[in-house]
Amino acid sequence: MPQTATARPTVSRRKSYFRKHTILYAMLLPPILFAFIFSYLPMAGLVMAFQDYQPWTGFTRSEWVGLEHFKLIFTLPDTIQVTFNTLVIAVGKIAANMVVPFIFALLLNEVRHVGYKRTVQTLVYLPHFMNWVIIGGILMDVLSPSGGLINRGMSMLGVEPVFFLGEGGWFRFTMIASDVWKEFGFSTIVYLAALAGINPSLYEAAEADGANRWKQTVYITIPMLMPIMIVLGTLSLGNVLNAGFEQILTLYSPLVYEKGDIIDTYVYRMGLVSGQYSFGTAFGLLKSIVSCLFIIAAYRLAYRYANYRVF
């Protein structure tokens, strides 16, 4: 009943107002607790990067070694190779994942038949929703040098069979190409949304001035899409050290470790598989710090030049 609320004295009304808002903090409690346990506690575990951590002695009694592991990282030849591999694959993916969806969105925008457009969109989004195990399984079958679909097609054209997943140079190419194949459709969504937002009167005016579709694209569409492309490109800067852990872990093999091993897979193999916990953690920590700096820089740039904010 609303009457009782207005009849109450001011003090208790303020009290009830306060009580209403404490519920908000009570709601936040479980998520804060979860984030603390599962995200912040592991950060405390990073001290092991400065220890010679042994599982049976634990954090409290393991020997402190200072920056020993970091010194080792900087002297190991593996480090240079692995970092180089990471950068090559990641930069390749970033570049291709910027250009391909952009062009694809422009082409798709020219389709006037709604049904055809929607069908194309439905089909190209699909690979995004399958994980790298499924895609990896498909790729291994399709790319197999003996009787895989692609190599069979290539031999019909008279091309020698290629061992896409077993030869270092091809392996990198395959990683980039398959990542683009999986994601380009989905990345297109943002550009399509931006295209839909362009004011049609701009095109009408250009039309009246005698501009053909090519001119309209060059002088209206592309400039209008530039800001969003710059934002996406800037934000992907935060990913230069992430070359795709799950993809590479699924698809690589000892044959291509030299050219296919990236920082994340190297940390996994050294740290968890070979049990060099402290070394793996130190390498991971180094990567996390650099990545974090890149992400912060990327968001700052995106905010300053394109006014982009997360919240």
Partner 1 sequence: MYYKTSGYKWFSVGNHILLGIISLMCILPLFHILAVSLSDKAAVSANLVNFWPVDFTMDAYHKVISNRDFSSSLWNSVMRVVLGTAVSMLLVILAAYPLSKDSGVLKGRNAIAWYFVFTMLFSGGMIPSYILMSKLHLINHMGALILPGAVNVWNMILLMNFFRNVPKELEEAALMDGANHMVTLFRIFLPISLPALVTLSLFTLVGHWNSWFDGLIYMRQDNYPLATYLQTIIVETNLVNLINSASDMDKITQRSFKAAQIFIAALPVIVLYPFLQRFFVKGMVLGAVKE
Residues near 31 by Cβ (< 8 Å), separated by ≥ 6? none
123 binds partner 1 (CB under 8 A): yes
The half-sphere exposure of 30 on its side-chain side, counting CA atoms within 13 A, is: 2
Tell the smallest beta-carbon distance from residue 77 to partner 1 (Å): 23
Stretch that binds partner 1, among 14-22, 60-68, 77-85, 87-95 (CB under 8 A): 14-22
230 binds partner 1 (CB under 8 A): no
Q: Map the footprint of partner 1 across residues 28-87, applying CB under 8 A.
A: 28, 30-32, 34-35, 37-46, 48, 55
The 3-state secondary structure of 136-161, one letter per residue: HHHHHHHHCCCCCHHHHHHHHCCCCC
Q: Map the footprint of partner 1 across residues 124-153, applying CB under 8 A.
A: 124-127, 129-131, 133-134, 136-142, 144, 146-147, 149, 152
Q: Which of 173, 255, 301, 303 binds partner 1 (CB under 8 A)?
A: 255
> For residue 133, what are the CA distances in angstroms to 136, 145, 187?
5, 20, 21
306 binds partner 1 (CB under 8 A): no
Tell the smallest beta-carbon distance from residue 5 to partner 1 (Å): 6
Q: Do 267 and 284 contact (CB within 8 A), yes or no?
A: yes
Q: Map the footprint of partner 1 across residues 158-177, applying CB under 8 A.
A: 165-166
Q: Which of 14, 15, 80, 122 binds partner 1 (CB under 8 A)?
A: 122
Q: How far apart are CA 94 and CA 240, in angstroms?
A: 8
**What residues does 51 pair with on adjacent strands?**
64
Total number of residues binding partner 1 (CB under 8 A)?
99
Q: Do 106 and 190 contact (CB within 8 A), yes or no?
A: no
Of 177, 185, 101, 168, the C-alpha closest to 139 is: 177
107 binds partner 1 (CB under 8 A): yes
104 binds partner 1 (CB under 8 A): yes
Tell the smallest beta-carbon distance from residue 89 to partner 1 (Å): 18
116 binds partner 1 (CB under 8 A): yes
What DSSP string runs through 66-125?
A: TTHHHHHHHH-HHHHHHHHHHHHHHHHHHHHHHHHHHHHHHHHHT---HHHHHHHHHHHH
223 binds partner 1 (CB under 8 A): no
Tell the smallest beta-carbon distance from residue 127 to partner 1 (Å): 6
285 binds partner 1 (CB under 8 A): yes
